[in-house]
Chain A
Amino acid sequence: MSLVLLISGIFIIKGIFLWIFYSKEGWRPLLIGLITAIACYPLMVVLYHDTDIDFWLVLVLVMVFDIFMYNLLLKKNIVKSIIVSFFLNIFAIIYFLFGNG
């Protein structure tokens, strides 16, 4: 899967999810969705193809990372951050695996 397709897809998934759950924050959820997609997923592509690291562990780490980011940058609500991060990253990792095989 090309980088452009990967980032576009992850941004759409993350942006839409964040925008629905953090609608009162204006355009910030879309920006956070884009930046976290750019930060995490290119690295995950390299880890997936060049290493044998367990991707369940990577998924958990990405979820925890997103929980911290949403809590710090969007709204201080840890329960909401956990729920959003869990569902958002499940859909994102399915898309990632679908494209990277």
Chain B
Amino acid sequence: MKFIWLFLFLPFSSLADAGFNIQRGKAPCYAVFTGINKLTGFGFYKISVNDRDRGKLLTDSAYRLKENDTLKIYYKEGRRYWQGPIKIIMLNKSTGQFVDSIILIADGNNLAINFSGFDNTKPKYTITKSKAYYPYSLYASEDIDEAAAKRNKYILLAMSVTGFLILGFMIYKKRNNTVTKTA
């Protein structure tokens, strides 16, 4: 009976999964498209597959990609975090048929999609990944680029290590003082 008060915490345990793990800001991820100008016979369209536009098909308002276009594939909008995925579909302009598609998933990486030519009726492309960094800032008005984000992350970790070392030193000093007084 004396442990009955523990049941008071049960309603709070239901918050555990809905609490800290949702709406965590992650590194914004981008997909950059190059080489589109080489494939003049093809059109490239972006479709977002997410909670809002699930199953949305190509319409007249679908976004057409241009050379060096940069798309966000993981980003924040209000208090929602979109992971995509984003689907790129390729249209053969002469036949009017869709010939291929790519699904882009961020997974913490920036993607560079380079279209290098075409093979039979399908465009050839390569996808290279580079790690995306969360824009950690040291002060409010700081301009954050990728190099600054990476540097700031290491500064945060170094500060933590320094703090733990100082605490360790303070504990050591207190124990030494206690031993000296006892002696």
Contacts and interface: CB of A to CB of B under 8 A. Distances in A.
Interface of A: 2-5, 35-40, 42-43, 45-46, 48-50, 52, 54-56, 58, 69, 72-73, 97, 100-101
Contact of B156 (A42, A56, A97, A100): A42
Residues of B in contact with A, size category: 20 to 34
Nearest to A44: B160
Contacts of B16: 54, 56
B167 to A, nearest CB: 6
B137 A49 contact: no
Majority SS at the chain A contact face? helix
B136 A36 contact: no
A90 to B, nearest CB: 12
B163 A72 contact: no
Nearest to A45: B156
A54 B166 contact: no
Interface in B148-169: 152-153, 155-157, 159-160, 162-164, 166-167
Contacts of B152: 3
A48 B21 CA distance: 9
Interface stretch (B22-30, B67-75, B95-103): B22-30
Given A38-B163, A100-B25, A3 B156 contact: yes
Contact of A55 (B21, B140, B162): B21
Nearest to A31: B170
A49 B170 contact: no
Given A2-B142, A3-B137, A100-B25, A73 B174 contact: yes
Contacts of B166: 35, 38-39
B140 A46 contact: no
A2 B167 contact: no
Contact of A97 (B20, B153, B164): B20
A101 B134 CA distance: 13
Interface of B: 16, 19-21, 23-27, 79, 134, 136-140, 142, 152-153, 155-157, 159-160, 162-164, 166-167, 170-171, 174
A50 B134 contact: yes
Contacts of B163: 35-40, 42
A97 B24 CA distance: 9
Among B27, B160, B162, max chain A CB count under 10 A is at: B160
B36 to A, nearest CB: 33
A42 B24 CA distance: 16
A77 to B, nearest CB: 15
Contacts of A55: 19-21
A72 B174 contact: yes
